[in-house]
Amino acid sequence: MRNHIDLNRAIIHGQANGKVLWQPRIICWYMDREFSHVPLPAPYTGMSIRELYEALGCSNRIYDYNAAVRLIEDPSIKRYSKPLDELRTQHFVETPEGTITAITRRNTSNYGEFFEKWWVENQKDMEVQMYIEANQDYEFDQKAYDKVYEVWGENGLGSIYFPRINVQSLFNDTMGVEGGIFALMDMPDVCEEYFKVKQANHERFIKMIRSSCFEWINFGDNVHCATLPPSLFEKYVLPEYQHRNELLHQPDKSYYTFAHWDGDTKAILKYAKETGLDGIEAITPKPQGDVTLEEIKAGLGDQVGLVDGIAAILFDETYPIQMLEDQAKRLIDLFAGKLILGISDEMSSTGNIDRIKFITELVDKYNATC
């Protein structure tokens, strides 16, 4: 069994001597087959996800460790749900400030679900949401951490993803993009107040991190320029990134921080060096995203590391394997030493798992020369 933790740690601390860690995310590909009762192809038939990673010789970015983050809410906050039909569920959160509700709909082709009705639709709902977030805290659960380690062992260095940052949370967690844009235009003062409450909440999250054994922290923001233009990024996201990173890069203990930017990122790459981030995850290059590898390198420079980098569609047989090989080799040329190579951002259900093993062999061959 390979020990990927040491190389994972060496890269985030700048001690890898040019070596590259291959850390693709293939759990969506795996779970879609499980949902559809489709067996894995030979020779992987019947394997667990952990066994599959071992057979492929690669590392997993193990966000299962989020189970070690325990949310503590004030007893005045009551949550419950009720099914509406076979696919839809209505969720309730009762507080002294009022009740908010959401409706989620499950997919029919996978385990995912999406909002049919968002939590926050008006100022009163926002005030309830502020009460909820003002009365939350976080604790690190060592037993839960150890339980995940029992499964994954030294396959990768445990990481957690931070709650989404202000605007991105508005778009993805509480209001949706359309509702969030209208809120920013129609009630900016209320949004500003909400973002201050959220910042305080996230400072408590950082306090929990500092009591934990985590070493690298993901900002799971799902930044995409089509919904987060430079004007919003510069006004809201950039200052908060800088604030978070000041708190997470202290003389007594400093963490490797990296944010999830997927989809189109060209318009905001110019801010990467200002964020205080150590790395950026899932920047999606052409032919899938809107940037070349050279543009990514120019945006990150030698200051910011790259996590992932290979366009997910290149793992489909629609594209010749030579394109996959060329992109992987070019990424290594540009970023080796500050590169945790992966898929931007997950292999699709139609991807060929043999291409994962192909990159394993390519990376092994390269690392042998370092």
Same domain, 135 and 104: no
Nearest to 284 by CA among 351, 331, 218, 227: 331
Q: Which of 61, 96, 122 is the last residue of a domain?
A: 122
What's residue 34's pLDDT?
A: 96
Which of 122, 142, 159 is at the close of a domain?
A: 122
Asked whether 289 and 263 are in contact (CB, 8 A), the reply is yes
- The DSSP bridge partners found for residue 80 are 92
b/e map 166-181, b = 16+ CB within 10 Å:
bbbbbbbbbbbeebbb
Give the pLDDT score at 1. 67
97 with 243, same domain? no
Contact 339, 305 (CB under 8 A): yes
Question: What is the CATH number for 305?
Answer: 3.20.20.210
Indicate the number of domains in the chain: 2
Residue 32 has which token pair?
């879609």
> Which range of residues forms the domain containing residue 91?
75-122
CB neighbour class for 223 (10 Å; exposed up to 12, middle 13-18, buried from 19): buried
256-261 and 216-223 strand pairing: parallel
**Is the pTM above the cut of 0.85?**
yes
Of the residues 90, 122, 154, the one at which a domain ends: 122
- Give the angle subtended at the CA of 302 by the CAs of 310 and 285, to the nearest 5°: 20
Instruction: Tell me: do 55 and 80 sit in the same domain.
Output: no
**Please, which residues have CB within 8 angstroms of residue 146's CB and are 6 or more apart in sequence?**
none
61 and 112 part of one domain = no
| Helix axes 188-209 and 238-248, enclosed angle (nearest 10) | 20
Q: Are residues 10 and 23 in the same domain?
A: yes
134 shares a domain with 103: no
* Same-domain check for residues 97 and 217: no
Reading the block at residue 233, the tokens are: 């990024």
The answer on 258 and 192 residing in a single domain is yes
28 and 90 share one domain = no
**The residue to which tokens 């700048």 are assigned:** 14
Residue 298 tokens, joined: 């120019």
Q: Hey, which bits of the chain come out as E strands? A: 21-22, 69-73, 78-83, 88-95, 98-106, 113-117, 136-140, 159-162, 216-223, 256-261, 279-281, 305-307, 310-311, 339-341, 343-344
Regarding whether 85 and 197 lie in a shared domain, the answer is no
Phi then psi for 285, rounded to 5 degrees? -85, 170
**pLDDT in single tens digits along all 370 residues of the chain:** 689 999 999 999 999 999 999 999 999 999 999 999 999 999 999 999 999 999 999 999 999 999 999 999 999 999 999 999 999 999 999 999 999 999 999 999 999 999 999 999 999 999 999 999 999 999 999 999 999 999 999 999 999 999 999 999 999 999 999 999 999 999 999 999 999 999 999 999 999 999 999 999 999 999 999 999 999 999 999 999 999 999 999 999 999 999 999 989 999 999 999 999 999 999 999 999 999 999 999 999 999 999 999 999 999 999 999 999 999 999 999 999 999 999 999 999 999 999 999 999 999 999 999 9
Say if residue 117 is in the same domain as residue 226: no
Can you tell me the distance from the alpha carbon of 13 to that of 159, in angstroms, rounded to the nearest whole number? 15
Claim to verify: residue 28 and residue 79 sit in the same structural domain: no
pLDDT score at 263: 87
